[in-house]
Amino acid sequence: MTNGTQAKEEALKRKVTWMHIVTFAFATAISYVLAAVSSLIFPVLGAPGVSALYIAAAIYVPLGIWMGMWGCLAGYISCFFLGLYPSGYSLVQSFVWSWADFIEALVPALIYKGLKAELDFTVKRPRAAKLLPLFISTGCILLLLGVVIQVLWGATFGEPFTTIYVALVYIGTALAAAGIILGLLAGNPRTWVAQILSVISASFCSGIWGAGTLTTFNFPPPLPAELFWPVFVGWVVGDLIVLSVISTALLMALTPVFKRTGLLVKGWWA
């Protein structure tokens, strides 16, 4: 039996299960809540629904890598409802704008599939095997700690809590970046190249569509055209941070779970 025949038979055996649907529904709900909170607590001024630290992306982008179109739909639906409330956009404006989050989940999935990159975030060198999870996990913890400080105290009292929040975000991002570089040097190069390209490409592609549909092309654009660059920069920088830190940490921690439970899709749906 040829490899092509085996692949076709395996594809026929794979089916969408209730676990795919439940995981998708749960991820969509969580993404919406995080999107709404992020846009209210970390707003890009003058752009309702746009966050300087869009934590929701850390949910549906890895889901797109694990589960293909399920992650893309989770991003789209959560963003669509975010556009309606609390952002206050019309149905048509939200329909157009929300493709930004669909794109943000689709681009990494395409990159991983295009490069045929295995979801292997381990490293074999003993010292690197200890440092990599330490860098990534510590970076994620510091960033989330900064978010908690900003939500609980910074948003109400301002300084010095806002400065502490910013410092923790940047330190956490730097540690995560060091971990990603370490993974590239000591781990599976194709996997880590795919991850780096995914973080950068997803942030810029979604930022172009998101900022563009808010300021330039929509029915009508809800924001003035001169806000394109502030919205675009805030969008991209925030996504770069979230995807580098939280998304990478989730991919490292939960990929084995998705493999064991059968949630990891080979195609786009199953």
In the three-class reduction of DSSP (H, G, I as helix; E, B as strand; rest coil), residue 75 is classed as: helix
Identify which of 62, 68, 104 has the alpha carbon closest to the alpha carbon of residue 265.
68
Residue 270: Cβ within 10 Å count: 18
- Residue 71 predicted with pLDDT over 90: yes
pLDDT tens by residue, 77-114: 999 999 999 999 999 999 999 999 999 999 999 999 99
User: Is there a contact between 28 and 73 (Cβ–Cβ < 8 Å)?
Assistant: yes
Q: For the whole prediction, is pTM greater than 0.75? A: yes
pLDDT tens by residue, 153-185: 998 899 999 999 999 999 999 999 999 999 999
Side-chain half-sphere of 15: how many Cα atoms within 13 Å? 3
* Domains of the chain and any CATH numbers: 18-121+188-261 (1.10.1760.20)
